[in-house]
Amino acid sequence: MSIATASPSDTPALQAPAASGQRLFRQVLRRRLRAFLSRAASPAAILLLWEIASRLGFIPERILAAPSQIGATFGALVASGEMGSNILVSLGRVLTGLSISLSLGTALALISGLSRRGEVIVDSPMQMVRTLPFVGLVPLFILWFGIGEFTKVTLIAFATTFPMYLTLYSGIRSIDAKLIEAGRLFGLGHFGLIWHVILPGALPSFLLGLRYALGISWLSLVIVEQINATAGLGYLINNARDFMRTDIIVVCLLAYSLLGLFTDLLVRSIEHFALAWRPSFIKD
């Protein structure tokens, strides 16, 4: 029992570990910083070379603007509010499309995941349609729905329904039969099983599907915004192309990737909260 005997005379001795703890913390910080710098060195060098090449005229502005100019343009676009309003339009398209595909994909997955008859009716058509490349459907959608917002949102919804459906459906079907049996034995009825066993068990797959769907939604946004957009990031890009403003095009591409990163982060934090029971999240 030599561990837990702290008498008052020990107090000075206890300060030494605290000091060394601080030193340790500083050491870790320094190591992290060094690691970050060594990883950032190569991209920074490329940016620097790019900047020099642009300044010396090796890269003409109409091919690719210099990094410094891109930064300045970004600042100007944000300051004028042009960036914010167009991002909101693009974000709105994605969210509308996603909310449709989320509801549709989830409903279809529940139908075919929870009943054999539902599987027969829903699954085979879904498996057939999902192989269609949605980009190839753009002309058909334009013929059907015109070139307005409806076509854009429908295409995003169409493209993202399948990852939602497929992952949730396989998630429902891959739930451990032993858990379902235990649930039944301990008094869960049909709806109790769905609520207490099947849905929570399929939640990880649902969130994975959501992340796939988000990734695809940004991709389809870029494509549908090439169709006669009057607002949104795609509109900015199209305008910039007409005026050979490569700096604006690059800024918009960066905005697309930032939006993608941001929404992915959002789903990750939902996962952290909703899947707290998963061993990978249980760290302590």
The residues of the shown chain that bind another protein, judged by CB under 8 A, are 178-179, 181-188, 192, 196-197, 200-201, 203, 275-279, 282
**Cα–Cα distances in angstroms (integers) from residue 77 to residues 7, 117, 176, 228, 230, in the given order:** 64, 54, 52, 21, 17
Gap between the Cα atoms of 91 and 234, Å rounded: 12
Three-state DSSP state, 7: coil
Nearer to another protein, 111 or 275 (CB): 275
Nearer to another protein, 32 or 278 (CB): 278
Convert 136-175 into a string of H (helix), E (strand) and C (coil).
HHHHHHHHHHCCCHHHHHHHHHHHHHHHHHHHHHHHHHCC
What are the residues whose beta carbons fall under 8 Å from the beta carbon of 186, sequence distance 6 or more? none
H-helix or E-strand containing 114?
Answer: helix 82-114
Q: Residue 177 CB, nearest distance to another protein (Å)?
A: 10
Gap between the Cα atoms of 263 and 172, Å rounded: 25
Chain centroid offset of residue 280 CA: 20
CA angle at 86 for the pair 85 and 88, rounded to the nearest 5°: 65
**Cα–Cα distances in angstroms (integers) from residue 186 to residues 175, 179, 192, in the given order:** 17, 10, 11
Nearer to another protein, 173 or 184 (CB): 184
Gap between the Cα atoms of 97 and 104, Å rounded: 11
Among candidate residues 128, 274, 262, the one with its CA nearest the CA of residue 200: 274
